[in-house]
Amino acid sequence: MGVTTAVVPESETTSPPAQKSNQTAPQVIESGAIVVNSIPDGGEVYADDAFIGNCPATLKLIPGKHYIRVFLRDYKNWSREISVLAGSEVNLTATLEKTIN
């Protein structure tokens, strides 16, 4: 009885050489968090004029200045400009005033 030997080409047994890249890894920007609540509860939250959700809401925003607005039907709009710092967490409570009908 003969012995059969399989020959595997070298290119299939070794990994291709690692190629060097001139590209740098993308920089990860750490966000900051703003926890928004409203009195009464359920106000609509907007960050930089984009609807985010209803209160209570936690916003993860890149560092810098942001415009936060809370809206609830039959109540006056509430807004603040806030500076977000990387890794920070800020709590905001929007106390909404009832409009006069």
Q: What is the DSSP letter of 48?
A: T
Q: What is the DSSP letter of 22?
A: -
d(CA 73, CA 7): 77
Domain boundaries of the chain, sorted by first residue: 29-95
pLDDT tens column, 51-95 = 999 999 999 999 999 999 999 999 999 999 999 999 999 999 999
pLDDT tens column, 3-53 = 433 444 444 445 555 556 567 767 777 999 999 999 999 999 999 999 999
Collapsed DSSP state (helix, strand, coil) of residue 49: coil
**Class at the top of the CATH hierarchy for domain 29-95:** mainly beta
Length reported for the chain: 101
